Amino acid sequence: MARAIVRGGGVPSGSAGKQGMRRAEARSILYRRVAVIVILAVFLLPLLWLLSTAYKPTRDIFATPPTLLFSPTWSNFTSVFRYFDLPELLWSSIVISLGSTVLSLLLGVPAGYALARAKFRGAVGVAYFFLAIRTVPPVATLIPFYILMRDIGLLGTWWAVILINTSLNCAFVVWMMYAYFRSSPISIEEAALTDGCNDWRTFLTVALPAVVPGIIASAIFCVMFSWNDFLFAMFLTRAETKPISVALLSAYGTKDISWGTLGALAHFSTLPIILMMLFLNRYFVQGLTKGVN
């Protein structure tokens, strides 16, 4: 009788098992968060170092060992506004990025839809061929494209960079939108065709609204690719049309590097992209996680 009472008054084994599972799950979450923090530190520390350099006096930039405590200064930013036409640099970057993005979407979205609804078996291979175009080393296409732009009179203009960025970004958009349209139900489009809609009206009013997250995600990628482009913008533009990514090279002199100026320019080069991601983060995550198989 006493043994039965002792056994009955103990903690049930099921409750102990649940507590053990909770502790194991808590440790797993902790380990994952620590891993994320370490990975973010590895990738963000160089950027944070560069951005903090913009507020350091010259003596602190070259201090040995590096110092974490310093008196902030705005002299590097005043130098940027003194020696650079910052509004013109930013305007060139915006025109090139938005121009190539709009053209890439206008060409890539219908092409991705056509591939997704194609009846032949080789559509998947064609889609991956477009993806392979994006993996071509940019320097391999620079010289032929430079000669082409020179011959048609577009060398030194925004259009030269917009067109070559479009040729690369459009291939990426085709592959992305092919995956999205493949995962989109075709039954709604068939119903619209049955009700009398033609192909273009079905595409614009039925197919496109179903893949808006994918279009936004593709647009964000195109803007980032074009905004961060340096090689094509360096060789295909002139002083009046160069973007801010090329202006960063001006911090490199023949004898030394103006790290303070480089850090100040890096603010204006990275902050627009960061702000764009903060405002469009919800759509970006939806575009990456919804509908892609």
Does the pLDDT at position 233 exceed 70? yes
Claim to verify: residue 37 and residue 88 sit in the same structural domain: no
CATH number, position 282: 1.10.3720.10
More confident residue, 162 or 124: 162
Claim to verify: residue 27 and residue 88 sit in the same structural domain: no
Backbone angles phi, psi at 232, to 5 degrees: -65, -40
Collapse the DSSP code of 237 into the 3-class scheme (helix H, G, I; strand E, B; otherwise coil) and give the result.
strand
* Domains identified in the chain, total number: 2
Contacts for 138-146 with beta carbons within 8 Å, 24 or more apart? 138/168, 138/231, 138/232, 139/231, 142/231, 142/232, 142/235, 145/232, 145/236, 146/235, 146/236
In a domain, 280, yes or no: yes
In a domain, 66, yes or no: no
What pLDDT does 4 receive? 47
More confident residue, 136 or 173: 173
Does the pLDDT at position 5 exceed 50? no
Claim to verify: residue 276 and residue 154 sit in the same structural domain: yes
| pLDDT band at residue 2 under the 50/70/90 scheme | very low
What pLDDT does 249 receive? 82
Q: Are 250 and 52 in contact (CB under 8 A)?
A: no
pTM (2 d.p.)? 0.79
More confident residue, 90 or 134: 90
Read off the pLDDT of residues 148-206 as tens digits, 9 standing for 90 and up.
999 999 998 999 999 999 988 999 899 888 888 888 888 888 888 787 788 888 888 88
Radius of gyration of the chain (CA): 27
Write out the residue range of the structural domain in which residue 161 sits. Answer: 84-289
Claim to verify: residue 109 and residue 212 sit in the same structural domain: yes
Closest CA to 289 of 175, 173, 183: 183
Read off the pLDDT of residues 89-102 as tens digits, 9 standing for 90 and up.
999 999 999 999 99
What is the DSSP secondary-structure string of 111-141?
HHHHHHT--STTHHHHHHHHHHHHTS-HHHH
Provide the percentage of residues in the chain whose pLDDT is more than 90. 22
Claim to verify: residue 176 and residue 36 sit in the same structural domain: no
In a domain, 77, yes or no: no
In a domain, 55, yes or no: no
In a domain, 73, yes or no: no
More confident residue, 143 or 120: 143
What pLDDT does 222 receive? 92
Rounded distance between C-alpha atoms, residue 145 and residue 233, angstroms: 12
Claim to verify: residue 36 and residue 156 sit in the same structural domain: no
Claim to verify: residue 150 and residue 23 sit in the same structural domain: no
Computed over every residue of the chain, the mean pLDDT equals 83
Claim to verify: residue 234 and residue 142 sit in the same structural domain: yes
Cβ-based burial of 262 (10 A; exposed 0-12, middle 13-18, buried ≥19): buried
How much is the average pLDDT of 212-233? 90
Does the pLDDT at position 58 exceed 80? no
Provide the percentage of residues in the chain whose pLDDT is more than 70. 89
What pLDDT does 271 receive? 85
